[in-house]
A and B are shown apart, each in its own frame.
Chain A
Amino acid sequence: MAARRALAAYLFLLPALALLGVFTFYPVVFGTALSLFDYDVISPPRFVGAAHFRELWTDRYFWIALRNSLVYLAVVPALQLGAIVLALWVRRPLRGIGWFRAAYYLPVVTSMVVAGLLWRWLYDESGLVNYVLLRLRMIHAPVHWLSDPSLALYAVMAVTLWKGLGYYMVIYLAGLEAIPPVYEEAAALDGAGAAARLFRVTIPLLRPSILLASTLSAIAALRVFEEMYVMTGGGPVYSTYTLFYYMFDQAFNALHLGYAAAVGVVLAAVTIGLSVVNFRLLRQGGLSYY
């Protein structure tokens, strides 16, 4: 009987485990190993040791991509700060607040392609962004948001902010709801002002959410690709070329699969390193029974 139940359990799990094995565990493990091989799909893989990593060290485009990916991480604190402020704001019991929340969430459910096309038009030399800024006299001549190499990366970052704000707002709203109101009430009874309650009670108790959201956001920022692919194609002159973009190009355009895997491994190492730092910084705080 027990053996039959165990067999039934494994059969229930079979589809999920088979698919996870084939499309997650196998490709991640062997993809990492692939960084030590030369592979172009057609001829069999050839072991080259650490040659790809040595090659990366002197690869100009790799360093450009790495630099851009690291600069792009600036969206993380901006996004988290904005989302926390927004969550605290829309927590108020104002009439019709649900509609505002929905409006902030709208970009989240939109396809990146639609968002990218929209912003490509908005950012155009004769697009709406320039129109509004010219009208407000904040600029004197149209700005080439996406075709100026010194601006393009930041213009793309703004789209990531626009698209992600609502998502993290929802995470923080859930985090705020999980904090029992007694803490703030007790602080208020002890004579803490609104600012003290916010910075000494609410924000420290929100730490688990901040840790989670900033880790998710950093991982997403390091893997940024679709924004660039749709809006700038990595240009102008590689100013929006990221590590993920380089991996994509090497794997699927140049068919240097082993080299692409090496780029992927570096990207993974940066991601893991950053997550560890993030955990160290934000581990404390929150409720102990969380």
Chain B
Amino acid sequence: MENLKLGNKLKYFRMEQKLTQAELGELVGVTRKTINTVENNVFVPSTLLAFKLAKALNSDVETVFYLYK
């Protein structure tokens, strides 16, 4: 299989919900720094955290996260 990376539209959905990184972090039980690193593709979240983030943003995990080359 090709070497794929995990991307996300976390910032877009977060802005749409008018949430700050700290507020989103509070909703899913992580620090603002974790949200920041996920948004900027520095840190790949676990499946559980990805689902929690999607749920907090009233979306699906497939919509918020995607694979790219």
Same complex for A and B? Answer: no
What residues make up the interface of A, taking CB atoms closer than 8 Å to B? none
